[in-house]
Amino acid sequence: MSIVSTKQMLLKAQQGGYAVAAFNVENMEMVQAICDSANKLKAPVIIATSASALKYAPPALFAAMVYAVAKETSIPVALHLDHGNSFELCEACVKAGYSSVMIDASQQPYEENVKLSRAVVKLCTTYQVPVEAELGHVGGKEDDIKSENDLGTDPIQAAEFVKQTGVNSLAVAIGTTHGVYQGAPKLDFERLSSIRSAVDIPLVLHGASGLSGDAVRACVSRGICKINYATELRAAYTAAVRHVLLENPEAIDPKIFGRAARQCVSEVVLKKMTVLGCEGKA
């Protein structure tokens, strides 16, 4: 299929009581692994690139890879900017063919978050591209995203934020953390339920790498319909490369460890999608 918007994809998930997985990618092998696994499960999928990844390679290059791989599948695939940190980056991604963007001004004062999110919504409306924003912010560190403390999303403020900005989906902070967990996270399910009652647009969970299947399913049952994964895919990819090079230190052909890494990423993707309940929802 060709690349599709996340708008109907997430609304369908919200109505169906399941979640769509958004997987951050760094290279071609990860794109191939994700699309292959999603195609096997007949599941919709979101392929995302972070602001940091777009310093490594430009939006047009990632877009070309995703479009080329996605058209060989029979499932809906969306291309998403994760944690866009500026109006200019969101604009560059939209012009490159991204079908969804996130503007993350969650660490700015509330008024600045509203102002920037509203500006990105206005831009993306012209291109018919949906916008995700974040209110409150998730702790931890991943790429250029760093926050020493969690700031939980306030349900009442969330409703006002959605009204003021017109965003299509909202990332919420309920106790998850970017990067690797140092201990079992304490998720605020009551807060999540309150946000779901106050806000009618799709809700997004960041920092899900490392959460148990039960915790993820509990979030989905309380209204989360998009869940982001990055750290676990990177860890799987890197572990596979290390293993191949340890077993065969004379290897110089990148395709050798690229294939192994692709297989490991594919296995992670299959497991995550099964937990989210999106199997067969394409």
In the block, tokens 């647009």 appear at: 201
| Phi-psi group of 260: left, alpha or beta (phi > 0 → left; psi -120 to 50 → alpha; rest → beta) | alpha
Identify any residues that bridge with 131 across adjacent strands, giving them in sequence order. 101
> How many Cα atoms occupy the beta-carbon half-sphere of 247 within 13 Å?
9
Considering 82, 104, 150, 154, which one is annotated as catalytic? Answer: 82
Closest CA to 48 of 87, 6, 82: 82
Residue 3's DSSP bridge partners are 77
Inter-residue contact 276 to 18 (CB < 8 Å): yes
Cα 92 to Cα 131: distance, rounded to the nearest angstrom: 14
| Residue in the structure block whose two tokens are 């999110």 | 117
Spatial separation of the C-alpha atoms in residues 10 and 199, rounded to whole Å: 14
82 is catalytic: yes
CB 175 within 8 A of CB 185: yes
* Active-site amino acid positions: 82
